[in-house]
Amino acid sequence: MKTYELTEAAARVVALLTAKGFTVATAESCTGGLLSASLTAVSGASAVFECGVAAYSAAIKEKVVGVSPETIRKHGTVAAETAAEMADGVRRLAGATLGVGITGSAGPTPAEGHPAGTVFIAVADESRVWEQKLEVDGATLGRDRVRELAALTALQMILQHLE
């Protein structure tokens, strides 16, 4: 698969979503809306982008995007299971073809026992959820770069699904 930068990957995602008649919605924690901003910076995104939720707190993850309190109690907010429920929940909330969930520790300090640079990303459609764990050295790279890499990984996951 081709490697893209953030702006180029977002443009490719919007083009493919448009070509397929698909839509996307995002639920982001540690990226705080960076994925949504990347997508909506692309001309024509309004045809394919349904909504973006910056679900930073556990309460918003539960109340808005539908993460089960049991999942958070059992696995925490920084977990593959939480990212998966965020992706599926925001997809259902928005009525979108695809949902994306991102949660993790961008740094500079660890979160819930996960070192800075640990991010869980999930992409969901109506029948399946794909998960990926991003592990980079957040202490060295810094918070902004971890957030960029997480958003880029999410875009690459969407591209894999669409291509």
Number of neighbouring beta carbons within 10 Å of residue 59? 12
> What secondary structure does DSSP assign to 109-142, as a single string?
S-BTTBPTTEEEEEEE-SS-EEEEEEE--HHHH-
E strands, the chain, are 24-28, 49-54, 98-105, 118-124, 129-135
All domains of the chain in start order, with CATH: 6-162 (3.90.950.20)
pLDDT for 1 equals 43
pLDDT tens digits for range 72-126: 999 999 999 999 999 999 999 999 999 999 999 999 999 999 999 999 999 999 9
As a whole number of angstroms, the distance between CA 20 and CA 125 comes to 14
